[in-house]
Structure 1
Amino acid sequence: MNHRDAQSPASTPDIDVRSLSIGGQLLTVAIRHAGNEECPLLLFNGISANWQLAQPFMEALTKTTTIIFDMPGVGGSPTPVLPYRLSGMARLAAQLLSELGYGRADVAGVSWGGGVAQQFAHQYPKLCRKLVLGATSPGAVMVPGSPSAMLKMVTPRRYVDKTYMHKVAPSLYGGAVRKDPSLISPHANAMQGAKALGYLYQLLAMAGWTSVPWLWALRQPTLIIMGSDDPLVPPINGRLLHMLIPNAELELIEDGHLFFVTSAAETARRVERFLRDENTG
């Protein structure tokens, strides 16, 4: 059987879930067909986040085909033998686009995935039409979040212990979850137990990485969205990105770190407006 056509039992009428071997790495890939097939949106998720955690945002996009994959060591993608760097993940994503038959894509990254998105735009400028950065920073050169929130990020405990997740979510993610802690329940239920080694690999991939030396060279139109109440990545980091990326616009959303989930409809509306705007192409 052609592996392109192999679908896992997790596939739904709206989302096609496949297991693909890309560059020797098995990846769980999810694709939602909802619009422009010539230039889909390639989405990079947050640290240790399986693709299902992005499903509310994917389903809120009404005119945009979206591609996402579980990072090696996350969700349905096996953990590799050796650690990797963000440049390796960008290369893996470029190979995935080629395997799927796409010559170009818009690229979005959330939190940790924002680093991969920046790296992809820098590494493969001809493959990236527009760039969307959400709740993220330039990496090592950033204004850190609150110490208590950052300490909770050292281990993946919140991804494997739902009771702990419910306990720490309001102070960790802020925004809508701070106001209504019950909003974390669907998110917690969609989590697939994080792999400790996979989580460590993601931390190592980001260690010492920064986009500051080359952000000035990015030519893609860029939309930066930051949560106004984000304990993990304070919105000042969005202002730093906005200052360093030549063709960028910055928007604040009245929410916390998880606005791609807790404000999925509003976030999707802003993203699609940016992607469809011919004046930013």
Structure 2
Amino acid sequence: MGATTVQVVEVHGHRRAYVRAGSGPVLLLLHGLGCDRTTWEPVVERLAERHTVIAPDLLGHGLSDKPRADYSVGGYANGMRDLLTVLGIDKVTVVGHSFGGGVAMQFAYQFPERTERLALVASGGLGPEVTPLIRAVTTPGYHQAMGVLSLPGLRHAVRGGLGALERLPLSATRDLGEVADILESFRDPRARAAIRHVVRGVVDWRGQVVTMADRAYLTAAMPMCVVWGRDDRVIPVRHAENAARLAPAARVEVLDDAGHFPHKDHPERFAEILTDFVASTRPATYSRARWRRYLVDGPVAPPVQAEAGRAPVQPVPVARVLRLVRGA
């Protein structure tokens, strides 16, 4: 994020840290679990050439406060709405990485009138599978174990070991440097407690609990982009295929030689994808009547395949959605 100055505002009595750069259509960049605004450093300058970039530290992360508070996905979405309101920003393209993708989806669902587009980066909420390292946060001994790992000598040894493994020419060890950074943040017991509250709200011993599957049809009139790394070991790349099935109109990009942080593995390509996505799509416009029709119709069935030489049969709700997408 270079020379961009970290700014702080107070919302509901809690400090919220963020950076702001550039001018133009607004991109709200939401980081993942245990990360902070610095995860976007490799792409902020490129994106700020054509956009206003807002990259906050979510509550419980980075330089933002870490109170005993609401760390639900909905709570985070509310917090982002209120931060944008304080900053005088009305509408955004919301971009979420990993857990931040879940927050981005929730934001788009709760506040469609403020969401122009939705971009998901190796996002949670698209399937149950997730690395055992995250599921381990829900276990009873997590807080104590992380406290031991955070002791100075052991922490430095673990960080050094993970860094050495990351340098190996193996896709399986690609993201271990990021894991080391997350463990470093766990020095603060308040951060460990916040992470535990976050994970318990979205993951259990079987994997991810929160999903967009039952509400994906609501994205039919909102431009959506999905970016994934082919070598992701945190959330499997096949979840990008889930996104394509749930939202057939979405743009899906899978980057080779990239892991769970494709925006860091290929920053130029990522910035190019996001910039083109914004430039080539119309911002969604909110219509209360249309939103109601979506909710009344419910999930839309896919087209029925017809016999050779005959046009496919479209259920009525699909035809209605197509008309709505085209602005009718």
Q: Smaller-chain TM-score range?
A: 0.7 to 0.9
Moved over 4 A (4+): 149-157, 168-171, 173-177, 179-183, 191-194
* SS of structure 1 residue aligned to 2:33: coil
Residues 174 and 230 of structure 1 are in contact (CA less than 8 Å); yes or no, is this contact kept in structure 2? no
For the residue of structure 1 that corresponds to 2:244, the secondary structure is helix
Question: Does structure 1 conserve the Cα–Cα contact (< 8 Å) formed by 2:223 and 2:282?
Answer: no
Q: Which has the larger radius of gyration?
A: 2
Q: State the distance in 2 between where 1:245 and 1:182 align.
A: 28
Report what 2:83 is aligned to. Answer: 96
Residue in 1 that maps onto 2:12: 23
Matching residue within 219, 224, 227 for 2:226: 224
Distance 1:175 1:85, change over 3 A: farther
Question: Paired residue for 1:250?
Answer: 252
Q: CA deviation at 1:209?
A: 2.2
Question: Which one has the bigger helix percentage?
Answer: 2
Q: Return the structure number with greater strand share.
A: 1
1:152 Cα deviation (Å)? 6.8
Deviation at 1:210, TM superposition (A): 2.0
Separation in 1 of the partners of 2:121 and 2:164? 19
Deviations 1:19-61 (A, max 9, x none): 111133221111122x31xx31001101011212221121232
Quote the offset at 1:91 in angstroms.
1.0
Taking the aligned partners of 2:11 and 2:272, their CA distance within structure 1 comes to: 32
Structure 2 Cα separation of the partners of residues 53 and 110 of structure 1: 9
Q: Does structure 2 conserve the Cα–Cα contact (< 8 Å) formed by 1:175 and 1:228?
A: no
Q: Which residue in 2 is equivalent to 1:7? A: none
- Residue 57 (structure 2) pairs with residue 78 (structure 1): no
In structure 1, the partner of 2:120 is 133
Match for 1:134: what amino acid?
Answer: V
Deviations 1:74-133 (A, max 9, x none): 111111223421111111111111111111011000011000000001110010101110
Unaligned runs of 5+ in 2: 204-208, 285-328
Q: Is the 8 A contact 1:137 1:241 kept in 2?
A: no
Matches of 1:115 and 1:129 in 2, distance apart? 17
Distance 2:161 2:44 in 1: 27
1-side partners of 2:170 and 2:164: how far apart?
Answer: 5
Root mean square deviation, CA, Å:
3.4
TM-score (norm 2): 0.69
The 5-angstrom pairing of residues 1-281 of structure 1 reads 13=3, 15-33=4-22, 35-36=23-24, 39-61=25-47, 62-138=49-125, 142-145=127-130, 147=132, 150=134, 161=155, 163-165=157-159, 167-168=161-162, 178=171, 184=177, 188=181, 192=185, 193=187, 195-207=191-203, 208-218=209-219, 219-254=221-256, 255-278=258-281
1:151 positional shift: 5.8
The 1:166/1:223 distance shift into structure 2, 3 A limit, reads farther
Change in CA separation of 1:276 and 1:252 when aligned onto 2, cut-off 3 Å: same
The 3-state SS of whatever aligns with 1:43 is strand
Q: State how far apart, in whole Å, the 2-side matches of 1:249 and 1:94 are.
A: 25
Change (3 A) 1:205 1:183: closer
Question: Per-residue deviation at 1:241?
Answer: 1.5
Report the identity percentage. Answer: 21
Change (3 A) 1:162 1:115: farther
Judged with a 3 Å threshold, the aligned counterparts in structure 2 of structure 1 residues 82 and 95 are, in CA distance, closer, same or farther, namely closer
Measure the CA separation in 2 of the matches of 1:178 and 1:269: 24
Tell me, what secondary structure is at the counterpart of 2:214? Answer: coil
Residue aligning to 2:324: none
Tell me the matched-pair count.
Answer: 263
Mapped to 2, the partners of 1:242 and 1:164 lie a distance apart of: 38
